[in-house]
C-alpha cells in the first residue's frame, strides 16, 4: 500500500487525460433534474453511462437505486461500495443548464451532488485507463431519496437488503476536497406547522398571527439548554409563512435541526421542543404541530481505525491537509450497519445551495485520485480485521 | 408536391444511437468528418459544446476527425476557452485574407470549407445550452447510412410523428411560420416539408457545400435550402428530429431584422432563377420605430447583402483540394 501511495500523485495527470469524458458525465448527469422522490430521469442516464463504460453489471436494487458492478478477481471477498446521492435540493424539473469556463463549471446542484455522481459514473473508465484491478467487486451506486424528507431512504434500503457482507464504503460528495468524515452526529430534523382556523375571525376580536406564534416558539427554543459535552446544538434553518404584506398570516412553517454526538441528547431536546409546541398550542388556541422529517443515530469509526489512518495518508500523499468534521450523510447508515466507511470530497466550490453553484475543475483530478487511493486501501484489507467501535 | 419525402426522409436521432455502426460505416466508406462551430461571443456555451462532442464523438467513438471554431472577432473569452479545450480556432479574417472581408455567420461557414478537411461537414450553432452529442450523430446518421442523402437539417422541440395515431403539432419559430413557410407554400411547396428550415444545425457532403453560394448573414439557411433543392432536388435532402434545443429567445424587432434579410435573400434567389422580375432594386435598409418622448423615431438598420460564390470557384480552394479546371468543368456540368 505504501508503494501505491508514492505512485498516487502520478495518477493525477493520467486521470486528467480523461477530462472531457469526466466533465461530460458530470454535465450530462447534472443537467438532468432530480428533485428528491423524482430521480427517475437522472437514474436512467446514470445507468446508461455506466452501461456505456461497460461495467460488468448494471441494475437497480429493489428500491430503484441505480447500481453498476465492476467484478473483482476474488469472489470470496465482500464488495466495496462507492456511492453518491442522486437527488438534488434544487426542486425544479426543467433541464438545468451548466456553464463551463476555463476552470469552473457553474449550475444548480453541481456541488450537491452532480460532481459525485458524475465522478462515480466515470470510475469504470478510469479503472481501465489506470489498468486497475481489484480483488473485491466494486459497487457503484447513485442513491435516491437522500435529502430532506427522503431521509436517506435509498441508502438505508440498499445496505439493509444487500445479500452479502460489505467490506467497506466510500461516500462521495462534491465538496470540499480534503474532507475526511468518519463519524456522524445524531440528528433529528423536524418541522413545526402553525395554522389559524378561519373561524377564529368570527369568534374573537383578537386573531393570532401564525408567524408571531412561531416567533414565540423560536424564542422558547432559544431558551433551551444545549450542552457543551456531549456537544449539541439546535439550528433554526427554514421559515415560510403568510399570504401578503397586509394580511395576518394564517399559516407558517418552521424547519429545525437538532444535532449532537449523543443521540440521547438529540431525543431529549426534541422532547423539550415538543413540550414547547404543545404548551404554545394550548395557550394560544391554535393548531401547532410538530413532526420529524428525518433522523440519524450518532455513529463513528475510531480515529485510529486503519481506514481512517489510510484515508488520511492518501489525502496527505496528494499534498492536501485532511479535515475531519461530523457529517449527516449516508456515512451514518454505513456505520450503523457496522460497515467501515468514510466520506470524501472531490473539489472546491462556492454558492453550494444557489443556482450559481460553482465547482473548480482542476482540483477534481486529485479528488478522484484520492478515491482510487482509498479504494485500493480497502481492497488491500484495511477494513477486514478491525471491528467498529 | 413530393408527398413521400416527409415520410421517407424524416428521421429521429434515436434511429442512429448505435454509434459503433456509424463508426463502421465511416471507416468502410473511408470518410473524414469535420465539425464546425461558428462563433461570436459565445463564452458561456462554447466549452460545453467542445467538451461533450470531443468526449463522445472523438475520444469514445471516433466519428469526428476535427472540431474547428471559426470566430467573427469575439470580444469575450470565446477563442481562449475554445483553444483551452482543444478545438482548432481560426479567426474568419485570417482565412483567405486576399478576399474582401465580411462579418457574419454565413461568412464563417463558407470559410470553414477552406479550413476543414472533412468529406462531411457538420455545422452546429455555438449557443446551444443543452448540447448533447445527439446533435452531431443525429445529423450524421442519415448521411452515413443512406447513399442518396447528401444534406441533413435538424428540427426540434415538437417532433413530428409519422404514422397512424401519432400526430402531434409541429412547427418552427415565429420567423419560420410567419415568413418562410408562407413563401415556400407560394413558390416551393415541396420545401414546406422542412419542419424548421431555419434551424442552425445541419450537415452535408463537401461536394454539396462547395458548389453553392453562401450569403454572409442570416439568409444563409434560406438560400442553402433553395439552392440544394434547385440543384439536386428534394431527394438528396433529409431532416432529423433532435428532440429539444434550448436557445436564446430573441425580441420581435430582432426577428424583424432577421425576416428582412431572409425575405431579401429569397427574392434575390427568385430573380436569379428567372422566376420573378422586379422593376426596381430592393432597398437595403430595415426601418423600425421607437417611441421616444412621445415621438416616433425611426431606427434604421442598413443590412448588407453580400454573398460568397460557391467556394469551388475560388482558386486557393481549388489548389488546396487539388481540383483542376477539367474537374471543375465536369462538376459544373453535372
Q: State whether residue A94 sits within 8 Å of chain B by CB.
A: no
**Torsion sign over Cα A300, A303, A305, A306:** positive
Residue of A93, A101, A106, A107 to mutate when probing chain B, most B C-beta within 10 A: A101
- Asked if A211 contacts A249 with a C-beta cutoff of 8 angstroms, the reply is yes
Chain B: nearest CA to A19, how far in angstroms? 8
CA-based nearest residue in chain A for residue B82? A102
Nearest Cα to B122, choosing from B195, B22, B24? B22
- Give the cell for residue A49: 453511462
State residue A204's pLDDT score.
56
Q: State whether residue A98 sits within 8 Å of chain B by CB.
A: yes
Chain B: nearest CA to A372, how far in angstroms? 22
Residues A249 and A173 in one domain: no
Nearest Cα to A327, choosing from A301, A366, A305? A301
Q: Per the domain annotation, does A302 fall within a domain?
A: yes
Residues A200 and A142 in one domain: no
ipTM: 0.81
Chain B: nearest CA to A97, how far in angstroms? 6
Q: State whether residue B85 sits within 8 Å of chain A by CB.
A: yes
**Cβ contact A97–B85 (<8 Å):** no
Nearest Cα to A266, choosing from A318, A310, A314, A231? A231
**Cβ contact A102–B56 (<8 Å):** no
Of B51, B84, B130, the CB nearest to A31: B130
Residues A210 and A179 in one domain: no
**Cβ contact B132–A28 (<8 Å):** yes
**Cβ contact B130–A95 (<8 Å):** yes
| Contact list, B42 vs chain A (CB under 8 Å) | none
Of A18, A24, A101, the CB nearest to B52: A24
Residues A193 and A171 in one domain: no
**Cβ contact B54–A28 (<8 Å):** no
| Contact list, A364 vs chain B (CB under 8 Å) | none
Q: Per the domain annotation, does A208 fall within a domain?
A: yes
**Cβ contact B84–A102 (<8 Å):** yes
CA-based nearest residue in chain B for residue A23? B51
Q: State whether residue B60 sits within 8 Å of chain A by CB.
A: yes
Terminus-to-terminus CA distance in chain A, angstroms? 24
Residues A37 and A70 in one domain: yes
C-alpha angle with apex B53: A91 to B47, nearest 5 degrees?
65
Q: Per the domain annotation, does A279 fall within a domain?
A: yes
Nearest Cα to B155, choosing from B65, B247, B61? B247
CA-based nearest residue in chain B for residue A122? B55
β A80-85/A138-143 pair status: parallel
Per-residue pLDDT of chain A (389 residues; tens, 9 = 90+): 678 888 999 999 999 999 999 999 999 999 999 999 999 999 999 999 999 988 999 999 999 999 999 999 999 999 999 999 999 887 776 667 899 999 999 999 999 999 999 999 999 999 999 999 999 999 999 999 998 888 899 999 999 999 999 999 999 999 999 999 999 888 999 999 999 877 655 555 577 899 999 999 999 999 998 888 888 999 999 999 998 888 889 999 999 999 998 889 999 999 999 999 999 998 888 899 999 988 888 888 988 999 999 999 999 999 999 999 888 789 999 999 999 999 999 999 999 888 899 999 999 999 999 999 999 999 999 888 755 54
Question: In B160-191, which positions are buried (b, 16+ CB within 10 angstroms) versus exposed (e)?
Answer: beeeeeeeeeeebbebbeebbbebbeeebebb
A vs B: CB pairs below 8 A? 47
Of A18, A20, A97, the CB nearest to B130: A97
Question: A234: domain CATH number?
Answer: 3.30.70.360
CA-based nearest residue in chain B for residue A104? B47
Residues A164 and A245 in one domain: no
State residue B162's pLDDT score.
47
Residues within 8 A of A (CB atoms), B 96-135 only: 129-130, 132
Residues within 8 A of A (CB atoms), B 130-189 only: 130, 132
CA-based nearest residue in chain A for residue B48? A100
Residue A151 makes CB contacts below 8 A (sequence gap 6+) with A145, A293, A294, A295
**Cβ contact A21–B130 (<8 Å):** no
Of B47, B129, B132, the CB nearest to A101: B47
| Contact list, B245 vs chain A (CB under 8 Å) | none
Residues A355 and A313 in one domain: yes
Strand ranges in chain B using DSSP code E only, listed in sequence order: 10-12, 33-39, 66-71, 88-91, 120-123, 151-155, 202-205, 214-215, 237-241, 285-292, 295-302, 307-308
Residues A253 and A333 in one domain: no
Chain B: nearest CA to A27, how far in angstroms? 8
Nearest Cα to A365, choosing from A112, A46, A84, A11? A11
Of A20, A52, A97, the CB nearest to B59: A20
Residues A303 and A173 in one domain: yes
**Cβ contact B52–A97 (<8 Å):** no
β A232-241/B10-12 pair status: unpaired
With a cut of 70, list the residues of chain B below it in pLDDT: 2, 157-172, 247-249, 332, 334
Residue B272 makes CB contacts below 8 A (sequence gap 6+) with none
A69: β partners? A57, A139
Residue B126 makes CB contacts below 8 A (sequence gap 6+) with B37, B38, B39, B42, B45, B46, B49, B69, B78
Residues within 8 A of A (CB atoms), B 232-251 only: 244, 246
Residues A100 and A129 in one domain: yes
| Contact list, A27 vs chain B (CB under 8 Å) | 48, 51-52
Q: State whether residue A20 sits within 8 Å of chain B by CB.
A: yes
**Cβ contact A100–B129 (<8 Å):** no
Alpha-carbon distance of A150 to B83, in angstroms, equals 43
| Contact list, A97 vs chain B (CB under 8 Å) | 129-130, 246
Residues A160 and A251 in one domain: no
Chain B: nearest CA to A197, how far in angstroms? 46
Residues A282 and A139 in one domain: no
CA-based nearest residue in chain A for residue B49? A100
β B66-71/B33-39 pair status: parallel
Q: State whether residue A270 sits within 8 Å of chain B by CB.
A: no
How many domains is chain A built from? 2
Measured from the Cβ of residue B275, the count of other Cβ atoms closer than 10 Å reads 10
Strand ranges in B15-65 using DSSP code E only, listed in sequence order: 33-39
Q: State whether residue B51 sits within 8 Å of chain A by CB.
A: yes
Residue where a domain stops, chosen among A268, A296, A324: A296
Alpha-carbon distance of A384 to A375, in angstroms, equals 13
**3-state secondary structure (DSSP) of residue B37:** strand
pLDDT in tens, B164-186: 444 444 555 788 889 999 999 99
Residue where a domain stops, chosen among A271, A296, A321: A296
**Cβ contact B59–A21 (<8 Å):** yes
Q: Per the domain annotation, does A236 fall within a domain?
A: yes
| Contact list, B84 vs chain A (CB under 8 Å) | 102
- In CATH terms, is domain B8-333 a member of 3.90.550.10? yes
Q: Per the domain annotation, does A68 fall within a domain?
A: yes
Chain B: nearest CA to A52, how far in angstroms? 10
Question: A14: domain CATH number?
Answer: 3.40.630.10
Chain B: nearest CA to A337, how far in angstroms? 39
Chain A: nearest CA to B170, how far in angstroms? 21
Residue where a domain stops, chosen among A263, A296, A329: A296
Domain that holds residue A229: 186-296
**Cβ contact B51–A100 (<8 Å):** yes
Amino acid at each position: 500500500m505504501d508503494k501505491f501511495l508514492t505512485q498516487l500523485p502520478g495518477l493525477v495527470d493520467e486521470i486528467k487525460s480523461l477530462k472531457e469524458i469526466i466533465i461530460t458525465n458530470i454535465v450530462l448527469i447534472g443537467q438532468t433534474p432530480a428533485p428528491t422522490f423524482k430521480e427517475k430521469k437522472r437514474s436512467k442516464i446514470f445507468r446508461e453511462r455506466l452501461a456505456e463504460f461497460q461495467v460488468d453489471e448494471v441494475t437497480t436494487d429493489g428500491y430503484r437505486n441505480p447500481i453498476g458492478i465492476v467484478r473483482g478477481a476474488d469472489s470470496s471477498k465482500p464488495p466495496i461500495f462507492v456511492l453518491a446521492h442522486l437527488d438534488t435540493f434544487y426542486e425544479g424539473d426543467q433541464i438545468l443548464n451548466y456553464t463551463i469556463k476555463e476552470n469552473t463549471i457553474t449550475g444548480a446542484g453541481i456541488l450537491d451532488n452532480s460532481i459525485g455522481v458524475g465522478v462515480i459514473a466515470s470510475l469504470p473508465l478510469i479503472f481501465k485507463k489506470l489498468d486497475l484491478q481489484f480483488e473485491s467487486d466494486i459497487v457503484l451506486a447513485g442513491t435516491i431519496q437522500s435529502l430532506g424528507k427522503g431521509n436517506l431512504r435509498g441508502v438505508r434500503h440498499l445496505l439493509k437488503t444487500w445479500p452479502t457482507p460489505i467490506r467497506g464504503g466510500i461516500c462521495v460528495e462534491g465538496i470540499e476536497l480534503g474532507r475526511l468524515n468518519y463519524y456522524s452526529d445524531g440528528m433529528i430534523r423536524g418541522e413545526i406547522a402553525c395554522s389559524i382556523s378561519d373561524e377564529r375571525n368570527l369568534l374573537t376580536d383578537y386573531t393570532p398571527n401564525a408567524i408571531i406564534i412561531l416567533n414565540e416558539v423560536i424564542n422558547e427554543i432559544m431558551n433551551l439548554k444545549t450542552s457543551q459535552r456531549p456537544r449539541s446544538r439546535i439550528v433554526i434553518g427554514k421559515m415560510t409563512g403568510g399570504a401578503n404584506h397586509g394580511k395576518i398570516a394564517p399559516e407558517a412553517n418552521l424547519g429545525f435541526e437538532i444535532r449532537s454526538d449523543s443521540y440521547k441528547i438529540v431525543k431529549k431536546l426534541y422532547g423539550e421542543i415538543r413540550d414547547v409546541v404543545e404548551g404554545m398550542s394550548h395557550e394560544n388556541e391554535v393548531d401547532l404541530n410538530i413532526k420529524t422529517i428525518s433522523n440519524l443515530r450518532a455513529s463513528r469509526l475510531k480515529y485510529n481505525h486503519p481506514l481512517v489512518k489510510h484515508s488520511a495518508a492518501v489525502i496527505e500523499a496528494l499534498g492536501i491537509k485532511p479535515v475531519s468534521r461530523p457529517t449527516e450523510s449516508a456515512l451514518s447508515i454505513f456505520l450503523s450497519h457496522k460497515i467501515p466507511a468514510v466520506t470524501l470530497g472531490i473539489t472546491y466550490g462556492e454558492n453550494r445551495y444557489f443556482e450559481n453553484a460553482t465547482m473548480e475543475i482542476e482540483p477534481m483530478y486529485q479528488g478522484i485520485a484520492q478515491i482510487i487511493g482509498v479504494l485500493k486501501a480497502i481492497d488491500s484489507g484495511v477494513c477486514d480485521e478491525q471491528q467498529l467501535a | 408536391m413530393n408527398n413521400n419525402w416527409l415520410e421517407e426522409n424524416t428521421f429521429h436521432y434515436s434511429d442512429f444511437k448505435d454509434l459503433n455502426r456509424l463508426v463502421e460505416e465511416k471507416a468502410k466508406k473511408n470518410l473524414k468528418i469535420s465539425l464546425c462551430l461558428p462563433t461570436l461571443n459565445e463564452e458561456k456555451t462554447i466549452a460545453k459544446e467542445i467538451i461533450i462532442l470531443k468526449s463522445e464523438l472523438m475520444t469514445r467513438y471516433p466519428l469526428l476527425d476535427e472540431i474547428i471554431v471559426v470566430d467573427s472577432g469575439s470580444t469575450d473569452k470565446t477563442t481562449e476557452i475554445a483553444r483551452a479545450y482543444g478545438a482548432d480556432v481560426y479567426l474568419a479574417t485570417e482565412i483567405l485574407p486576399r478576399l474582401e472581408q465580411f462579418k457574419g455567420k454565413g461568412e464563417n461557414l463558407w470559410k470553414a470549407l477552406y479550413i476543414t478537411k472533412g468529406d462531411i461537414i457538420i455545422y452546429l450553432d455555438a449557443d446551444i445550452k443543452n448540447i448533447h452529442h445527439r446533435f452531431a450523430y443525429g445529423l450524421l446518421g442519415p448521411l452515413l447510412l443512406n447513399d442518396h442523402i447528401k444534406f441533413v437539417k435538424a428540427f426540434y422541440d415538437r417532433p413530428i410523428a409519422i404514422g397512424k395515431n401519432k400526430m402531434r403539432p409541429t412547427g418552427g419559430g415565429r420567423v419560420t411560420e410567419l415568413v418562410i413557410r408562407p413563401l415556400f407554400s407560394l413558390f416551393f411547396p415541396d420545401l414546406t416539408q422542412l419542419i424548421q428550415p431555419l434551424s442552425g444545425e445541419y450537415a452535408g457532403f463537401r461536394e454539396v457545400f462547395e458548389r453553392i453560394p453562401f450569403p454572409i448573414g442570416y439568409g444563409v439557411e434560406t438560400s442553402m435550402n433553395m439552392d440544394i433543392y434547385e440543384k439536386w432536388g428534394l431527394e438528396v435532402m433529409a431532416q432529423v428530429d433532435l428532440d429539444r434545443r434550448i436557445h436564446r429567445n430573441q425580441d420581435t424587432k430582432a426577428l424583424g431584422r432577421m425576416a428582412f434579410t431572409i425575405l431579401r435573400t429569397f427574392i434575390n434567389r427568385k430573380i436569379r432563377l428567372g422566376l420573378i422580375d422586379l422593376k426596381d432594386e430592393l432597398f437595403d435598409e430595415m426601418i423600425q420605430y421607437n417611441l421616444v418622448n412621445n415621438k416616433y423615431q425611426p431606427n434604421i438598420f442598413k443590412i448588407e447583402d453580400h454573398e460568397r460564390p460557391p467556394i469551388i470557384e475560388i482558386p486557393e480552394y481549388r489548389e488546396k483540394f487539388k481540383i483542376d479546371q477539367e474537374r471543375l468543368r465536369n462538376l459544373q456540368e453535372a
